[in-house]
Amino acid sequence: MLSEQTIATIKSTVPVLEVHGTTITKRFYQLMFEAHPELLNIFNHANQKQGRQQGALANAVYAAAQHIDRLEEILPVVRQIAHKHRSLGIKPEHYPIVGKYLLAAIKDVLGDAATDEIINAWAEAYGVIASVFIDVEAEMYKKAEQQQGGWSDFKNFVVQKKVKESNQITSFYLVPQDGQVLPAFEPGQYISLKMEIPGEHNTHIRQYSLSSAPGQPYYRISVKREDAVGSRPAGKVSVYLHEHVQEGDVLLVSAPAGDFTLDRTDRRPVVLISGGVGLTPMVSMLASLVETAPDRPVTFVHAAVSGDNHALRNEVEELVATHAQAAVRWCYSRPTEQDRLAQAFHKEGHLDLAWLQSVVPERNAQYYFCGPQGFMQSVYGLLKEWNIPVSDIHYEFFGPAAAWEADAQ
């Protein structure tokens, strides 16, 4: 338990963190990687270069300071981050390193304003927060390893099949090299790939949603090739997977993780909304609902640029055809002439509230959505405008938590 004095001191730093949070986290990563370059084998370099990881950590530190007297309120966020940590291989011995350089960064950035009282209070608070993460993650590691066919850390998988799904997205079917049974997973969860890319000094870890239903003899991921656009560099792992990984190759894979999963205790209708490659967890959810909840109404809404960019369309339509209460709607922002001739879409342009209301038969439903950041912001805004309760809104964001997500908690 934290003392009242420590809590008061931490809360007094909230306004400072609001202003200087990202500067502190940038300095933190700089100091930590200089002292421990081996940690570059865990962290996403692209997110570091784009400042996304620094921003996400700043948001997390700010939230911890705000809720330091009622940490139970951020436990859902703790569990979400803990899932990612478990899939990356974060261990208890990493936490003292993070604490040391986070405190050093606070001192560096704030200078004389970071009094001994403030530094000592944050050291005490960090110890409590780190202990919560360590305990939660220990239970997750134990569960992952002890389930049937389970394992800890990373395991060798063979690429059984490689299938091009669209002009940007390719699926990889992965089976355990040792021939052991695959552990179950919840639709919406992801796995991590740990890649050693020729010419790269460090390993790269990326997380990909499982795009098939549970119970298959393989794990399937459907990966979008991220080419360079403007100032955004090409995705090292996605490009390598598309260009160099072939059937028969061996990849290092983590056990499934993630808390973006279907609420199976709720029997109300389900609305699945996706944009681009964000359809991957939605296809897994749809396939599971078709198999296990044939009486539960499902509306599947997907937004793509055009039919050329639309992956897994036939699979989704086949799944919907087998479910008496399922419907699918496609929205293309820039349909091709072929799309128009084939009447391959239901709406041209972007999702808007009027159209969404017209295709969702029952407002009282559970809403799940996933896609690029701009798409996520738009869909969240539409659902809030429609006065959908926050408890009925569920989403997965590919990458570190974005600033807009603070409003969604």
**Which CATH number belongs to the domain containing residue 34 in this structure?**
1.10.490.10
pLDDT value at 399 more than 60: no
Residues 395, 274, single domain; the answer is yes
pLDDT value at 362 more than 60: yes
List residues bridging with 252 in a β-sheet: 156, 194
CA distances from 290 to 46, 272, 302, 318, 319 (A): 37, 13, 17, 11, 7
CA distances from 284 to 53, 143, 346 (A): 27, 22, 22
Residues 166, 283, single domain; the answer is no
Higher pLDDT, 114 or 57: 114
Whether 238 is in a domain gets the answer yes
Please tell me the distance from the alpha carbon of residue 54 to that of residue 74, in angstroms, as a whole number: 19
Contact 286, 271 (CB under 8 A): no
> In a 3-state reduction of DSSP, which class is residue 308?
helix
Q: Cite the active site residues.
A: 95, 137
How is 196-220 classified by DSSP, letter by letter?
A: --TT-SS-EEEEEEB-S-TTSSSEE
Residues 102, 206, single domain; the answer is no
Residues 89, 121, single domain; the answer is yes
* pLDDT class of 406 with cuts at 50, 70, 90: very low
Strand ranges (DSSP E) for 64-200? Answer: 154-164, 169-176, 190-195
Whether 265 is in a domain gets the answer no
What is the tally of structural domains in the chain? 3
Instruction: Give the model confidence (pLDDT) of 189-206 as tens digits.
Output: 999 999 999 999 899 999
Query: Taking Cα atoms as reference points, which of 230, 228, 227, 254 lies closest to residue 241?
Result: 227
| Domain span at 290 | 270-408
* pLDDT class of 185 with cuts at 50, 70, 90: very high
Amino acid identity at 219: Y
**Which CATH number belongs to the domain containing residue 339 in this structure?**
3.40.50.80
User: Given 120, 146, 172, which residue is the final one in a domain?
Assistant: 146
Residues 118, 81, single domain; the answer is yes
Residues 226, 128, single domain; the answer is no
* pLDDT class of 403 with cuts at 50, 70, 90: very low
How much is the average pLDDT of 330-352?
96
Residues 110, 237, single domain; the answer is no
pLDDT value at 311 more than 70: yes
Instruction: Give the model confidence (pLDDT) of 57-77 as tens digits.
Output: 777 888 888 888 888 888 888
How much is the pLDDT for 38?
93
Residues in binding site for NADP(+): 276-281
